[in-house]
């Protein structure tokens, strides 16, 4: 039976599409932006959707195997105001609330590389406090076959003592080393996702200069689906629900 997932801060569905390619099924989404929500409605017409994460009672939401979300990056982006947790757009606490209430078998959180220096420790500590072990690693679009960097940080977490946590073999509260792009990847997350990147592939994805502002913004915030796919396969492997080295053609 396919793993199920819920998508927070879904955007235009980059993680959702990647997870579906990895063999998972989306049960619900949360997305506030009207344009992005319209894109989701077009491609996932039968999936229930909420707008504002603040309004969602996650104790009443259908349980999922995996909870995923790229919480807003502006508070930690090098291009932003560098306010971190003091920024009103810092919504990691809302994602942590969802994780605490839903208790999924696995979590995927995504953000910009700037999170390593501003916010990662809060993320790791929050997950540890509610009983999750974590590992994290950077992944670029060019690693899965695209002609640009688009470097992002992916954080995977599993309930302490679970099958997923035993697979990753990580200690409960890892030290965060700011500036070390491979911090947290000693337990083979980086090795696994890079080894499985060949399964995703990719072509040139040039952006048309005729796109309007809403579409450019949505693309700018989106996760490359191929990156989400290899992470999704790694999570499936950790949960014993799949193999990250299996190609799409073979599934």
Per residue in 200-235, pLDDT tens?
Answer: 444 444 555 555 566 556 555 667 888 899 899 989
Question: What does the pLDDT read at residue 243?
Answer: 43
Q: 11 or 210: which carries more pLDDT confidence? A: 11
Question: What does the pLDDT read at residue 119?
Answer: 82
Question: What does the pLDDT read at residue 184?
Answer: 43
Per residue in 43-66, pLDDT tens?
Answer: 999 999 999 999 999 999 999 999
Q: Annotated catalytic residue: which of 26, 36, 73, 227? A: 73
Q: How many domains does the chain have?
A: 1
CATH of the domain at 40: 3.40.50.150
Of 184, 4, 227, the closest CA to residue 106 belongs to 4
Arithmetic mean of pLDDT over the chain: 76
pTM score of the predicted model: 0.76
Domain that includes residue 171, residue range: 4-250
Bridge partners of 110?
154
CA distances from 198 to 13, 143, 225, 242 (A): 22, 8, 14, 16
Per residue in 119-168, pLDDT tens?
Answer: 888 899 999 999 999 998 888 777 777 676 777 899 999 999 888 887 77
Which residue bears the tokens 């040139």? 204
Catalytic (active site) residue 73: yes
In sequence order, what are the residues at sequence separation of 6 or more whose Cβ sits closer than 8 angstroms to the Cβ of residue 213? Answer: none
Spatial contact of 144 and 202, defined as CB atoms under 8 Å apart: yes
């Amino acid at each position: 039976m396919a793993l199920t997932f819920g998508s927070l801060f879904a955007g235009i569905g980059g993680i959702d599409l990647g997870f579906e390619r990895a063999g998972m099924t989306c049960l619900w989404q949360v997305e506030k932006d009207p344009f992005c929500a319209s894109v989701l409605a077009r491609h996932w017409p039968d999936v229930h959707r909420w707008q504002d994460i603040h309004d969602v009672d996650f104790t009443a939401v259908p349980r999922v195997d995996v909870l995923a979300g790229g919480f807003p990056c502006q508070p930690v982006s090098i291009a932003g105001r560098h306010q971190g947790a003091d920024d009103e757009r810092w919504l990691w606490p809302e994602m942590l609330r969802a994780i605490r209430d839903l208790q999924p078998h696995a979590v995927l959180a995504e953000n910009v590389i700037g999170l390593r220096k501003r916010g990662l420790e809060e993320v790791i500590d929050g997950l540890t406090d509610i009983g999750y072990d974590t590992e994290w690693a950077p992944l670029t679009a060019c690693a899965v076959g695209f002609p640009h960097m688009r470097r992002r940080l992916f954080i995977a977490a599993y309930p302490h003592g679970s099958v997923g946590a035993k697979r990753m073999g990580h200690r409960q509260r890892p030290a965060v080393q700011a500036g070390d792009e491979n911090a947290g990847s000693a337990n083979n997350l980086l090795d696994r996702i890079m080894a499985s990147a060949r399964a995703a592939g990719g072509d040139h994805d040039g952006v048309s200069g005729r796109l309007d502002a809403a579409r450019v913004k949505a693309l700018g915030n989106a996760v490359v689906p191929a990156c989400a796919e290899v992470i999704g396969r790694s999570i499936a492997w950790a949960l014993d629900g799949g193999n990250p080295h299996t190609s799409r053609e073979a599934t």
